[in-house]
Each structure stands twice: as structure tokens, then as C-alpha cells.
A and B are shown apart, each in its own frame.
Chain A
Amino acid sequence: MASIQTNILPKSYTLPGPSKASISGPSTRRLLPVGPAFVSHLRLTLQHGHSFDVHDAHAEKERQKLEEQQNSAANGDDDLGVGDEPESAELLALDPKEWKKHDYYAVLGLSHLRYKATPEQIKIAHRKKVLKHHPDKKVTSAEPQSTSSLLTGINLNTNDDAFFKCIAKAHEVLTHPEKRRQYDSVDHELMEHQEDDPSPTDFAKSKKTLSDKEFFSTFTPIFEREARFSKKQVMPMLGDIDASKEHVEGFYDSWYNFESWRSFEWLDKEVNEGSDNRDDKRYTEKKNKSERARRKKEDIARVRQFVDLTLSLDPRIKRIKQQEKEAREAKKAAKSAPASGAATPQMTKAQEEEEKRKKEEAEKAAKADAKKAKAAAANAAKKARRAARAEEAPAA
């Protein structure tokens, strides 16, 4: 509401005395029962006791309720934890032509989920991004970039749909199971992490040692990361310092027999575009194939090397070896001691067996008796029937 400007109070102004006139009485009218204002009026008079404060509080509450409803309706019932990720300027400036190099999870706003994202989550994330970045919406909001008066009114943001194309590509790759598998194999985030992995050389050269705590904090996440590639799902994890011997053995057993589905088609070189040369194509394909095989081999070797390294540094192995040694020594000590108390339990065992045998025999006998009785009864019945038939025959 625009404010009203008032003039300066004259110096001569004095306050008037109390007015003797009283306010004129109200008249009675009949309201037309229409409109939201009428409902507000009813609420004010009937429910809120003529108090505008109570009425305002109620209206505010209703408004909030409505807003919440609208929000929940706008976001759908549940976005399955997709959320909203901030989009950096670099991300928005991606070139759709360079699509092989994109981080598709970041494009769809799923960087926090990556390979764990379910198809449903990908679907929701894609829809969100499309709604936000659709070119139809951009044209109106974007300002013309040129200041030239000749070009005013002409939309110069012809590259408006660049990010939209990236979204479409990301969606295409991530919803196609085969393509997604290939992409996940060489996921950006993964490749970056792999470069930081400790290598045997680190430890071999500097004779660096790790405390127990450091060991687990370094190696646990790496195994968690690598486990995604396992063909056998639910790989055992590194565990902690107090893990049992079985766990530790099972862990190394599994990881030495690690079978990976990881593949490297994604890094293939493209066949030269426009080249119709069959030989060219075949040559590139051959190259790619060998390159894939080489990478795969390298990867298997890498995992194996890494497990070796872990084994060599694992503080639990030392502990287990120590325990085994102790157990062996204890056994040796036990053997050398005279075996006197072992007779009694053997006796009882023999007795038990005898009892069992006796019981079985008794049961067998009982069964045989029952059989005999049954056979006798059947015989008797047969005889009776035969007699009856013999009697009937002459009558017929």
C-alpha cells in the first residue's frame, strides 16, 4: 500500500477538547452469502470471537498448510533421496560434443549416489533436470548477449540447449544397462581415486609402516570401492582388527578369487568418421579389442597386487600366526602329558550303543508280530468269501 504523505503540523495547533458527539449507530444489512471474504467474515465472527489477531493466525496457518501441500504435489510424493545438487558453472558449460568425457552422474545431479543410483532414482533425477533445463523455458529467461542494436530481439543463445543435450545423453547412457555398465567401469570418480591408491612401491622403497588404525582407514574404502565390480555380489569386507580367523581367511580367499565384470569398451577409439574403408575399420576394431584385453589384464593384476599388498601389511595376519603357534605349542604340551582320564567317556559311549541296538531289535520284533496277525485276518476273510460264493452257485 502506498503511503500517504501528510503535511507539517501547524505551530498554532492545540488539541481539541473531548468530543461530546457519539458515533452514529450501525445499520442492519443482509450480506450476500458469496465469496471467500464472506467465509472469512463468518470465521471471524463465529470462530475467532471478533479478534483479527486470532483470525490472522488462522489464515497464516491455512496458507502454510496450502503451501506445504503444493510443494509436496510439485515435488511428487517422494523423490527417493535424489535431492537437489548445486550446478557449477563448469557443469552448465559442458560441450555436448565431448559427451564421452562427461560425468553423467554429476549432469543428472546424482554425484552423491553414483553407481548406487537405482533406475527409479535416475528417472526422477532426469525428470527434475529436464523440467529445469528444457530449452523452451530458457528462451524467455535468457538475455541477449550482444549489445549491438542491430541484433536486439534476435535470440543469440543458439547454444541454449547444450546442457539439455548433455542431460539427454546422460539419461541415454545411464538407463541402458549395458552402456551404464561400461560407463561405471571407467567412472570418473573411480579413476581419480585409483590414482591415489597406495602401491607396493610406496611401501617397498621407504619401508613405510602403518599403524593398525591407518591400515584400516586406508584399505577399507578401497575394498568397498572395488567390490562393485564383483560378479559374485556381497564380497566380504576387510573387517576390523578383532575380526575372527575365519573372517580374515574368508576375506583373502574371496579376494584372491575375485571375478570382475569390469570392461573397457568405453575407452575404445572411435572409428574415423566418414571413413568407408573396411580395412581401417577392422584395424581400429582389432586395436580396440587388444586394448580392452590389455586393460582388463592390467586391472586384474592391479587388484591382485593390491590384495597382496594388503595381506603383507595386515596386522591381523601376524596375530593369527601368533595364535596358531600358541595353539600348536599347547597341543604339543597336551600330547606329552599322560592320557589317563580318557577311558570313562569311551565306556559310556559303548553302553549307549548297546542300548540303542537292543531297542531296535525290540521294535523289529513287534513289527513282525503285527504283520503276522494281519496276514491271518486276511486269510480268514478270504475263506469266508469263498464259502459264501459256493453257497450262491447252486441257487443260480
Chain B
Amino acid sequence: MTSNMQNGTADAAAEASNIPALVGINFGNSFASIAVFTKDGLAECIANEDGERQIACALSFFGEEMYIGSPAKAQLVKNAKNTIVGFRNLLGKKFSDIPQSQSTTSAPVIQHPELSDEPAYKVEILQPAPAPLPKSTSGTPAASSAPTPRSEPIPAERILTVSEVTTIFLKSLLQSAEDFLGKKVQGAVITVPSIFTDAQKDALEKAAADAGIVVYQLLEEPAAVAATTTTEAWSPTLAVDRTQLVVDVGSSSLSLSLLALRDGLAHILASSSSAGIGGDAIDSKLTTFFANEFTKKTKTPLTVCSEKPSIADARAEAKLRLAVEHTKRTISASPGAATCSVESLKDGVDFTSSINRLRFDMLVRPIYDSIARSVADLLDSAKVDPHHVDEIVYVGGTTCLPGLDEHLCLTAGFNEDINTPFSMGTVIGGGIGDPTTVLARGCALQAALIASLTEQDAELKKAFERNSELTEVKTTSKILGLVFPDESGNELGGTWIPLVPAETVLPARRTATFDIGLSEQSKRFAFELWEVSEGIE
């Protein structure tokens, strides 16, 4: 801030001051993103100081330095034991609740030495050595004015609780947003996964408060999606009443929600969550593929994804995993082949290879299949026919893969003309349907909405609190519509015009305009109000 003022950019700040400084934070387990509210009805995902819009949730300590984001992730290769990843899901959990089975190369979760049943991380750091001359209490000046050189920093151990790690990370996100906006952030909305318990939400709220963030609301991921998809900008052509399937493929888990959007109001019809399906699984497939390729090309043995890897193998795998991240992004963005290159992958041998879309899709087909199966299961359990789903919304970097969209549309039994961000062409070039920024943008819009409520609307603000009773509503259970009797000779004896779909939140209002056909002889018309349940035979 101060450096900005010195450089004389006061003008820009004054101009920006009309727009309230509100941010939306998508806080995932592996990646986070920040969006700021720019103009009325528009939110924009911003890049942090490293130029990353997808900020890796990683924290690494090396010597006296602390790295956050992608530089921290790069430390997984050489400094894995001092690198903390995947901490979000541990928020608010007790140490005894955390399964200890999975072996990780990153900093292991340990029992906090002082607090009981508290998960923590232990990292090795270098502490700056204490000042060589202890300050005398009498105020006697030091013997010499020449600075005494400090001694070498002392190696030390630092114990960080999950909550502290989260606070450090959120603080860095806040800092990025404030650097972008050029002023203090007024308030924020943060996403939470639907699987979070109340205790976990409390822990997140506390960590955010410690980081200095004013949290307006913790928004569940499907709700953050709905905040984006119910805007005018999202769907100028789509119907206001539609059923929307949200496919959120994270790095380690898949969560699906079926939303009923009724004139801007959204509620969940069904949701499911399955662990183990996601970006990490794709990474494993790719890593194995490239490792085999490497072995074939260079005759250097490399085994990855094994239980007990050698140090050289583990390091090579970490390098390869960082590299395939880039390969995945290239595959998503361009139809051509994507390269994967790692310098000195193992034993000082470089590796370069490429993979095309077809090969890639074949490789990760099992993961596509399991996603499609989960979708089918969800629709089954909700008793919703795939044909009644009007729109699919994708969330998460993995869903940028066009192959996944194709596979899902073909195999899950949806209508051919189902709307997806790909069919609407809003994925490319950071469009409005960009799966990586949807959540953060929804949060920023929501923050703007809450900030716009005045003091008079105190009772409305209560509805945004967790588990507010005001969110409980009555909905219609069947479709209401009109029958205009005519000689078409079908079952109902007329033309059926559905007006109010099932699951519409009450009170509801729908408007329809009719051109009434009148015969010359009898100038009369009639219609009947019907309630029907629709199904496909």
C-alpha cells in the first residue's frame, strides 16, 4: 500500500474506491482461488503475485524462508518433509479421527506435543540467531558502534497446528487480494465442502478470523455454484426453471449435486460425494504412463506409485507429478498433443514425451467411467430421469478436460442437447463457465449481495447464517399447468402447457402470454388447470 502511494498511483485507488472491496475465496483441499467483485453483477478471478489463478494449497519451510502456493509445491521434490499439503480437510478434526494409514511424502500429521488430540505438523526451520549483544537494562551505550556480525541461524523445530497453517495460508490469499485491489478487504465469502461438519466450519471460521478476514458467510460448494449460475450473465438463453447437475471433480474427491433452479432460487435435490475419484487419480495414471515411457526410452528403471519407493524413485515421481499438472492443462486447452518434459528425471537423464488427446482419454477412461457411474447412481437415488436434467455445470480443474464432458454426455443417458459449459462455449479463455473459477466468482457475488443489505434488513441477514430456519421452504411436488381443450385427440383432450414445474418454491409466480384462437361461430375459450406427474415411458 505504502509503496503504491510513493509511486503516485493514488488516482487509480480513488477511481476504484466506488466499488466495495469484496472478495470470494474458493478454499479447496489442493487448490484455492480468489475472486474480487468488480462491477455490478460481475466478479473476476484474480491471479496472485506469482501469476497463478489456481493457487496450490501448500506451505513449505526452507531455512529461514516460508513458501506459499506453487513455489511451496515445487519444494515437494527436495524438501518434502518440510512441506505441508492437504491441510484443509483436517481442519477441526481430532487427531484420533485422522486415519494414519496413507503414507505421504509431505510433512506428516503428528499429535501436537502439548495440546491433547490436536493434529499438527512438525517442520524444521532455521531461526535467526539472537542478537549478539544483549540489551543492557541500565541504558549504557554499547562499547562500539560498529555492528557485530550475527552468528549463523540456529536450526529449530516448529510445531504448527492445522488451524495455524490455514491462517497463514488464508492470510496470504487476503494479501494477494489487497495488493490487487489496492485497499483493505471489506469482507469475504469462503467456500466449504458439503461434507464439512459444524465443528469443521467453526474451525475454518476461526482460522479466517485469525487471518484478519471478515467472513460474511461460509458457502457450501453447490451454493457457490448456484450463485454464479443463477446470474443473468450465465444463462441469457436458458430457462429460469431448470434442473442442474453440478459435477465437482476435486483432486482427491468427486462431489455431485443435483440442483433445482427455480427462477433464481436454488435447492439441492440430491447430492453425493465419493473419495478417491479425481485429479490425483488421473495424475497417477499419467505418471505411470510417462514413467513406463521413460523406462522404455532410456532403459533407466523407474517405478512410481509403489508402496515403498526408493528415494530416487520418490523424487522422480514428485518431479513427474509436478510436470503432468502442466500436461493436463495443455490437454484441456488445446486439441493437439501435450508434452511432458522433466529435466534430470532420474539418474541425471532428461525426459521429454508427448501425449495426444485420444491416448489421454483412453488412459483415464476408468476415471471417466467411475464419474459417469457416480452420476448415474445419484440420479437413480434421486429418482430423476437423466432426460430431466437440463444443464451440467463443471467445477474444478479436472473438468476442463473436454474428454470428460464428451464421455459424460454420451454414457450417462442425458438429452443430446443438454447444456454444458462446453456446448455453450463458455469454458475457453476464462469464460463465465470456466470450471476453475466458478466457485470463487460465486463467492464474490455473494459477498457483494450480503454487503448490499442495509441495517434495515437485519432480519434478512439472519437468513445467511448457518442452518438458518429461514432457508426452510415449501415446494410444489408436481407440475402445474393448463390444458387448452382442442381436437388434437390426445389423452388430456387438449394441449398441455406446463407452467409451474415440480419443486418450485412457494410462493411462486409464473407469467405466460397466450394468443387465444377463437372460432367465428362461438366466441368462447376455456382452459383447465391440471396437476400432473410427468414421466417417460
Measuring CB to CB, which residues of chain A are less than 8 angstroms from any residue of chain B? 1-11, 13, 15-16, 21, 23-46, 50, 52
Kindly state the separation between the CA atoms of A27 and B217 in the bound complex, as whole angstroms. 27
> In this complex, what residue of B is CB-closest to A9?
B525
Assembled-state Cα–Cα distance A180/B6 (Å): 40
Nearest Cβ on chain B to A186's Cβ, whole angstroms: 41
Name B449's contact: one of A9, A23, A39 (CB within 8 Å): A39
A21 contacts which chain B residues (CB < 8 A)? 531
User: B224 an interface residue at 8 Å Cβ cutoff?
Assistant: yes
Q: Which residues of A are found within 8 Å of B512, using beta-carbon distances?
A: 1, 4
Beta-carbon contact of B516 and A6 below 8 Å: yes
- Contact residues in A for B525 (Cβ distance below 8 Å): 6, 9
Contacts of A40 in B (CB 8 A): 264
For the complex, give the distance between the alpha carbons of A68 and B400 in Å. 43
Q: Indicate if the CB atoms of B514 and A34 lie closer than 8 Å.
A: no
* Residues in B neighbouring A11, C-beta threshold 8 A: 519, 521-522
Residue B312 at the A interface, CB < 8 A?
no
Contact of B477 (CB < 8 Å), options: A4, A5, A27, A50: A27
Which stretch in B85-93, B326-334, B340-348, B500-508 binds the other chain?
B500-508
Q: Is B497's beta carbon under 8 Å from chain A?
A: yes
> In the bound complex, do residue B453 and residue A33 qualify as a contact, i.e. CB atoms below 8 Å apart?
no
Task: Establish whether residues B471 and A33, one from each chain, have CB atoms under 8 Å apart when the complex forms.
Answer: yes
A-B contact pairs, 5 of them (CB 8 A): A2-B513, A31-B265, A34-B227, A35-B446, A35-B449
Interface residues of B in 473-504 (CB under 8 A from A): 473-478, 484-488, 495, 497, 503
A32 touches B509 (CB 8 A): no
Cα separation A38 to B472 with both chains bound (whole Å): 12
Residues of A within 8 A of B527 (CB): 6
CA distance A352 to B475 in the complex (A): 107
Pair B226/A32 contact, Cβ less than 8 Å: yes
Query: In the assembled complex, how far is the CB of residue B244 from the closest CB belonging to chain A, in whole angstroms?
Result: 11
Shortest C-beta distance, B10 to chain A (Å), equals 20
Give the A-binding residues of B (Cβ under 8 A).
217, 219-220, 222-224, 226-227, 230-231, 259-260, 263-268, 442, 445-446, 449, 453, 459-460, 463-464, 468, 470-478, 484-488, 495, 497, 503, 505-507, 509, 511-519, 521-522, 524-528, 531
Distance in angstroms between the alpha carbons of A296 and B150 in the assembled complex: 86
Would you call A24 and B477 a contact (CB within 8 A)? yes
Q: Are A33 and B464 in contact (CB under 8 A)?
A: yes
Check B460 against A1 for contact (C-beta < 8 Å). Answer: no
Contact B226 A35 (CB under 8 A): yes
| A44 CA / B265 CA spacing, docked (Å) | 13
In the bound complex, what is the Cα–Cα distance between A32 and B257 (angstroms)?
Answer: 12
Contact of A31 among B267, B449, B487 (CB under 8 A): B267
Contacts of B473 in A (CB 8 A): 28-31, 41
**Given known A-B contacts A15-B526, A25-B477, A50-B507, A7 and B266 have beta carbons under 8 A apart:** no
B227 to chain A: which residues have CB within 8 Å?
Answer: 34-35
Query: Contact at B464–A7, with CB atoms within 8 Å?
Result: no
A73 → chain B, closest Cβ, in Å?
Answer: 8
Residues of B within 8 A of A37 (CB): 230, 263-265
Task: Give 20 new A-B contacts, CB below 8 A, not counting A10-B487, A41-B505.
Answer: A4-B513, A5-B515, A6-B484, A6-B525, A9-B519, A11-B519, A28-B474, A29-B473, A31-B471, A31-B472, A32-B222, A32-B223, A32-B226, A32-B267, A33-B217, A34-B446, A34-B449, A35-B230, A40-B264, A46-B470
Question: Which chain A residues lie closer than 8 Å to B495 at the CB level?
Answer: 6-7
> Which residues of chain B are within 8 angstroms of A32 by Cβ–Cβ distance?
220, 222-223, 226, 259, 266-268, 471
State whether B511 touches A1 (Cβ < 8 A).
yes
Question: How long is the Cα–Cα vector from A46 to B527 in the complex, in angstroms?
Answer: 34
A34 interface neighbour in B442, B476, B507, Cβ under 8 Å: B442
* A44 to B464 alpha-carbon distance, docked (Å): 16
A86 to B267, CA, bound (A): 53
How far apart are B273's CB and chain A's nearest CB, in angstroms?
16
Please give the distance in Å from A70's CB to the nearest CB on chain B.
10
* Chain B residues closer than 8 Å to A29, beta-carbon distance: 260, 267-268, 472-475, 503, 505
- Could you say which residues of chain B place their CB within 8 Å of the CB of A27? 474-475, 477, 503
What's the least CB distance linking B462 to chain A, in Å?
9
User: Nearest chain B CB to A176's CB is how many angstroms away?
Assistant: 27
Contact yes or no, A38 B265, CB < 8 A: yes
Which B residue's beta carbon lies closest to that of A41? B265
CB-CB under 8 A for A13 and B526, given A31-B505, A33-B468, A46-B470: yes
> Which A residues are in CB contact (< 8 Å) with B516?
6
